[in-house]
Amino acid sequence: MTQSFTIACIQNCATPDVHENIETSVRLSRKAAREGASLICTPEYFSGLKGEGAIIHPVAFEEADHPVIPAFAEEARASGCWFLLGSLGVKTPDGRINNRSYLIDPAGNIAARYDKIHMFDVNLGEGKDYRESATIAPGSQAVVASTPWGGLGLSICYDLRFAGLYRALAHGGASMLAVPAAFTKLTGEAHWHVLNRARAIENGCYVFAPCQYGTLDGGGECFGHSLIIDPWGRVLADGGEGEGFVTAKIDMAEVASARQRIPALTHDREILLAQASEAAE
């Protein structure tokens, strides 16, 4: 297993035009590869997204017809890089859409898929109402993907708020956690950094969190600030606002070091919740 590599997180503002978004993301990815990145991660719905009030409309195709997958398979073969396609809209046989991550290996093969489990159905006030489940079908299975550097736990955006998912990924062999997102500006300013740092600290994992920035077609604004965080919770890179990418050198020995210093994963215990009357006895 390789101990060190360079990670890149792409940061874009997706339009409804899938081909424009592919062009932008490929351009940024090629620059990241030239800077030595071996794993390149893109945000949630980086290939196309628009808003319509409470409804989220990703650009969606059936998997076999999705133009993003062959485009990045070709980039993987040409660059020798791994690609985490943060998420794509993928049409299902019943007419709904999955919010799906893809891990592409350097041979251009799909190494893993993950369908977002937790749906962003929230009312933030100030007219900011979101109903992801109106167009998206949730997944049901957690995924730890094998890479040359260790297990990569897959998640997407709103999943970040469910600590139990990441605990399960860590116990399932993840030493790295991917959190591609299109986090809203309102919630991002309040919670993005602290939640990503918490997931890294509590599980002794690296966190790779590419996030869209800017105003989306039809309304909605994404926070940006794509993050790379080490297992001790230190922010190694922050994408700020605007188009581009960030990179960091990853040393997988830091995972073992953090888990040795704080061996919380070995201290998990089953929690039995007592009724108030029983607790008082």
> What CATH number should be reported for the domain holding residue 106?
3.60.110.10
Q: How far apart are CA 112 and CA 41, in angstroms?
A: 14
If one counts the domains in the chain, the total is 1
Residue pair 250/206 in contact by the 8 Å Cβ criterion: yes
pLDDT in tens, 191-248: 999 999 999 999 999 999 999 999 999 888 999 999 999 999 999 999 999 999 999 9
Prediction pTM value: 0.95
Check residue 55 and give its pLDDT.
77
- Band the pLDDT of 56: cuts 50, 70, 90: confident
Given its phi and psi angles, is residue 127 left (phi above 0), alpha (psi -120 to 50 degrees) or beta? Answer: left
Check residue 279 and give its pLDDT.
55
Residue pair 9/57 in contact by the 8 Å Cβ criterion: no
The residues assigned a catalytic role are 44, 116, 157
- Band the pLDDT of 37: cuts 50, 70, 90: very high
Domain range holding 169? 4-280
Q: For 213, list phi and psi in degrees, rounded to 5.
A: -125, 165
Name the percent of the chain lying above pLDDT 70: 97
Kindly give, in sequence order, each residue whose CB lies less than 8 Å from that of residue 56, ignoring residues fewer than 6 positions away.
49, 120, 130, 131, 132, 134, 135, 136
Mapping DSSP to helix (H, G, I), strand (E, B) and coil, where does residue 73 land?
helix
- Band the pLDDT of 278: cuts 50, 70, 90: low
Q: How far apart are CA 120 and CA 136, in angstroms?
A: 10
Give, as one character, the DSSP assignment of residue 191.
Answer: I
| Mean pLDDT within 90-105 | 94
Q: How far apart are CA 243 and CA 198, in angstroms?
A: 26
